[in-house]
A and B are shown apart, each in its own frame.
Chain A
Amino acid sequence: MLQVLFFGRLREELGCERLELPASEALSDLDRLQASLAREHGERWQAALAAPNIIRALNQQMVQGNAAISDGDEIAFFPPVTGG
Chain B
Amino acid sequence: MRRTADVIVIGGGIHGCSTALHLAMRGLRPLVVEKDYAGRHASGVNAGGVRQLARHLAEVPLSVASMELWERIDDLLGDDCAFESHGQVLVAENEAELDQFRARVTDLRLRGYAHEELIDRAELKRLVPAVSDACPGGIVSRRDGAADPFRTTQAFRRKAVALGATVLEGVSITGLQRRAGIWHLSSSAGPFEAPVVVNAAGAWADRIAASLGEPVPLEVMALMLMITNRVPRFIAPVVILRGRKLSFKQLANGTVLIGGGHQGRSDRDANITEIDWHKLAESARTVWELFPAMHRAFIVRAWAGIEARMPDDIPVIGPSATAEGVYHQFGFCGHGFQLGPGLGALMAELIATGRTNLPIDPFSIARFAPVRAPRPPA
- Are A and B genuine complex partners? no
> Which residues of A approach B to under 8 Å, CB–CB?
none
> Which residues of B approach A to under 8 Å, CB–CB?
none
